[in-house]
Structure 1
Amino acid sequence: MRSAYWLADRPRVLYGALVLSIVALIAAVSFLIPTPYQMLLPGPVTDTNTLIEPRPEQTQGAFYLTSIYSDPASVAEWLYAQADPEAGLIPREQARPQHLSRQEYRELLDTMMDSSKTAARVVAFRAAGLEVTVGGQGTLIREVQEGSPAEGVVEVGDVVVSTEGQPVRTMDDLIAVIRAHRPGDRLSLEVRRDDATLALAVTLGESPEEQGRARMGVVIATYQLRYSFPRDLKVQSENLGGPSAGLMFALAIYNSLTPGDLTGGHRFAGTGSMATDGRIGAVGGVSYKVRAAEKAGAEYFLVPSDNADEARRAAHAIQVIPVSSFAEALPFIKQLPPVGEQAVASA
């Protein structure tokens, strides 16, 4: 038989259970209600040495690739971001171009990652003293400048495959031919336009920047650019996207190609896009990447010079190293004494 106390207290128990159920329901629903914001958090770090095949031998330190967590914020996540100093919120339109679907944006990030890996390989191989050859299927006309000699002759999308009877495989081939001529010279071109091959001619003008230098007046790129490397080397990038891993990939690739341990036992983290000439470009989300690097125990954070101020504001224990090129980053790393030697020197 139930006690009189339990019977008297039963309404309070039921009321408490009802309140808890309502609170739980509201909490669950809050994860389903979207907001117009994107939540940002420090993401995972990955030692790029582990993503290179063949893997660098006897590496004691690390070259950490840093990332950010970015996802559309629900009401619950929006509330969480108000309480967590490491979390951030930005309008969703700033996180992804609105004319792209999530799938299209994902594909764009994958393409940028592939370009980043290619540039990192080119830079690292050349820094290691290994030859990288460049090839292509012609020179693509990307822009025809208004009022230029090329206006009305070539069109955007044309591919120049020969000039003066000589094959054109890369944009450097066309540039070399133009520079070998003088203003007023007539240059013959063989151009692919859609499914047709056209024989065209353009009278070269004079460069406004340099007297006596011939100018065609187009913005060009190598069509179907490809690189040939003297060694097989693969870079894994599953579940990664965007251009910002270029610098750290290049360091790990260089470490794989050269003898010894480039890290010297140190733990480096960093970010930065990489061009094939070694220039390091600015990227987004640097403050979150700095925090991720500090959590991983990295000692140094290599950052594009244009992002240095943001990195310094976010840093607490880590040392921020601004770099504008691979040629700047590599000497800094090489001049650091290995970790064991540091311990002996300070003993």
Structure 2
Amino acid sequence: MNRKMYVRTFLVVAILLIASALYSLPFYVSKPGMAKELEPIIEVSGGDEAKGSFMLTTVRMGRANIYSYLLAKWSKYQELYPENAIRSADETDEEYNIRQLHLMDGSKNNAIKIAYEKAGKEVDYEYLGVYVLDVLEGMPAAKELKAGDQIIQVDDVKFRSAQEFMGYINGKKAGDKVEVVYKREETEKKAVLSLQPFKDDPNRVGIGISLDDNRKVTTKPAIAIDSEQIGGPSAGLMFSLEIFNQLTEGDLTKGYDIAGTGTMADDGTVGPIGGIQQKIVAADNSGAEIFFAPNESGAAGSNYEDALIAAKDIGTDMKIVPVDNFDDALTYLNKLKGKGK
């Protein structure tokens, strides 16, 4: 091969590689992320330090290009998901990120509630309004609202839940106008919107938003959590354990590095999450010695069963512990012997 042919071949290959990295496919790739210590990001006033650590676990998620798609096809602990399995049809990247951060806030608030109640400390909620998760294209809200806005009141009516908001709107008919007062960041705004039937349900009218409750938790002693870069609800269980450990005397970690995952409901139930096997890999790579996995009441194909399969496959010495609720994790930790004893 002469020099010119070599240069041309090199350029063609380089262009193909660059194109494969830049061209997005309608898929998302998830892969093992990391296990992150919680003590540096959670601070309870007057809380003591632990010898070991509680860690949340993450997966890395991103839109697939040609290169990452092919790599995921050949990688055991990378998963491909169709775009519509991750985001709704009209949901933008910004709306998706906002939704994930709001899910984190909800799970975090539940974790605070459970930990404070179990520790016998003061905890209460202040209802801030209706939180806008995303806005439907072609509906009235699309002209004024966007994901992350906080609806304070409608027609001088304040609500104590998103359910009450929906009940108020459902009592109206197409063409009725409502005045919406909302906050965007710290700025208060107003908008007059006409109710319109939904395309997929003409018998139902609305302004065209998906919504959730927006609540602020107040506690005594005070708590600060720096979770701005963490999305999704899956860290709820581990948040609750770290908070409880700082609120109470002694050290629940007993000197161990303890990872885990699972959503936290406001009654203390631990819920299943996605990517459990990737989180086992992430926790093992980070040196975790114990891993809490949602048991789903022993259901076939539970997070716990999938975690056991991955743990055996990678040959980890990490202990996999099934939990259905916060009390299950607490009972296990109270019975755990101190490291080295």
Q: Look up the SS of the partner of 1:156 in the other structure.
A: helix
Query: What is the TM-score of this pair, normalised by structure 1?
Result: 0.69
- The equivalent residue for 2:54 is 63
- The equivalent residue for 2:79 is 88
Is 2:163 the counterpart of 1:142? yes
Rg larger in structure: 1
* Contact preservation (8 Å) 1:138, 1:223: no
Q: Deviations over 1:308-339 (max 9, x none)?
A: 12222222322221111111111101211111
- The equivalent residue for 1:265 is 255
Which of these residues, 120, 123, 127, is aligned with residue 114 of structure 2? 123
In structure 2, relative to structure 1, the CA distance for the partners of 1:140 and 1:17 (3 Å cut) is closer
- The equivalent residue for 2:325 is 325
Is 2:224 the counterpart of 1:238? no
In structure 2, relative to structure 1, the CA distance for the partners of 1:252 and 1:140 (3 Å cut) is closer
Q: How many residues align?
A: 260
* Contact preservation (8 Å) 2:77, 2:277: no
**Identity across matched positions, percent:** 32
Distance 1:81 1:141 in 2: 39
- The equivalent residue for 1:312 is 308
Query: What is the TM-score of this pair, normalised by structure 2?
Result: 0.70
Which range moved further: 247-256 or 123-132? Answer: 123-132
* Contact preservation (8 Å) 2:49, 2:246: no
* Contact preservation (8 Å) 2:44, 2:221: no
Q: Look up the SS of the partner of 2:60 in the other structure.
A: strand
Q: Look up the SS of the partner of 2:2 in the other structure.
A: helix
Q: CA deviation at 1:141?
A: 8.0
Distance 2:250 2:65 in 1: 48
Q: How does 1:198-213 map to 2 (within 5 A)?
A: none
Q: CA deviation at 1:135?
A: 5.8
Amino acid in the other structure paired with 1:43 = G
In structure 2, relative to structure 1, the CA distance for the partners of 1:117 and 1:140 (3 Å cut) is closer
Amino acid in the other structure paired with 1:39 = V
Distance 2:35 2:116 in 1: 24
Distance 2:235 2:161 in 1: 28
Is 2:298 the counterpart of 1:300? no
Amino acid in the other structure paired with 2:76 = P
Is 2:124 the counterpart of 1:113? no
Is 2:91 the counterpart of 1:100? yes
- The equivalent residue for 2:154 is none
In structure 2, relative to structure 1, the CA distance for the partners of 1:233 and 1:140 (3 Å cut) is closer
In structure 2, relative to structure 1, the CA distance for the partners of 1:135 and 1:24 (3 Å cut) is closer
* Contact preservation (8 Å) 2:292, 2:321: yes
- The equivalent residue for 2:281 is 291
Distance 1:294 1:223 in 2: 36
Aligned-residue CA RMSD (Å): 2.5
Distance 2:94 2:16 in 1: 31
- The equivalent residue for 1:19 is 9
Distance 1:19 1:243 in 2: 48
Which range moved further: 55-64 or 282-291? Answer: 55-64
Runs of 4+ in structure 1 deviating by more than 4 angstroms, as ranges, are 134-141, 222-227
Which range moved further: 309-318 or 262-271? Answer: 309-318
In structure 2, relative to structure 1, the CA distance for the partners of 1:141 and 1:81 (3 Å cut) is closer
Distance 1:226 1:78 in 2: 40
